[in-house]
Structure 1
Amino acid sequence: MIPVDKLLKDLKNQPLEDVLEKYDISLSDLFRIQRNRKYHTGEYKYITRTKSKAYSINKTSDGENCYFGTYKDKKEAEAIVEELKKCGWDINQLPSILERLNIQSKSEREY
């Protein structure tokens, strides 16, 4: 079994070809390992980094995805998630949470 943490660390610090050779795996094996990783673990499972380097908050409940906005800063997104957890993810509470934390969503800042 390949130690995934060590493999990922090596990928950050060594050329791809060297890592594939070191672990005696193919590129398709590496893709399979990456695909099977748990990306949304722990406290960050509701926060996703967007292509524009912002942070989007989403939560899936009963098969429905609920969007809580996109924010420029990870700390802002984390604070909002904590407040949403306290109110049971009531989306109607989002405007008062944003006001209380003095945070604007990305779409509010664009206008």
Structure 2
Amino acid sequence: MQMVEWTGKPAYQQVADALRGRIAKGEFAKDGKLPSIADLIDEYGVTVTPVREAIRQLKTDGLVVSHQGKGAFLTPDAAEAAKRTDPMAAIAELRDEVGQLRTSVSELRDRLARLESQ
């Protein structure tokens, strides 16, 4: 059970962030369906209102669509979109890019040093 924490961030936003991270990791990719509202209430230890608001936020972000009586489903590009809107995923991606840039710069320095020594 992932309880929301008493922080300055609203409960619905904590739930939305947690779900966004799980979407980014591909956790719901198999069937493309989010857990039911009841399951999310149990999982995050909140009432129905924060869960509904979290799903509404994910809909606004373009990650899910909901169908009355059927639940919330991932949009086709939800995992990629979640990575773009998930701060931790964005940080990890930026770290990878910085690492690649460092490698490229190091290789260019080596080439330049070889050219200058000729």
TM-score with structure 2 length normalisation?
Answer: 0.29
Higher RCO by CA contacts (8 Å cutoff, separation 6 or greater):
2
Larger Rg: 2
More strand by share: 1
Compare the two structures and name the one with the higher helix fraction: 2
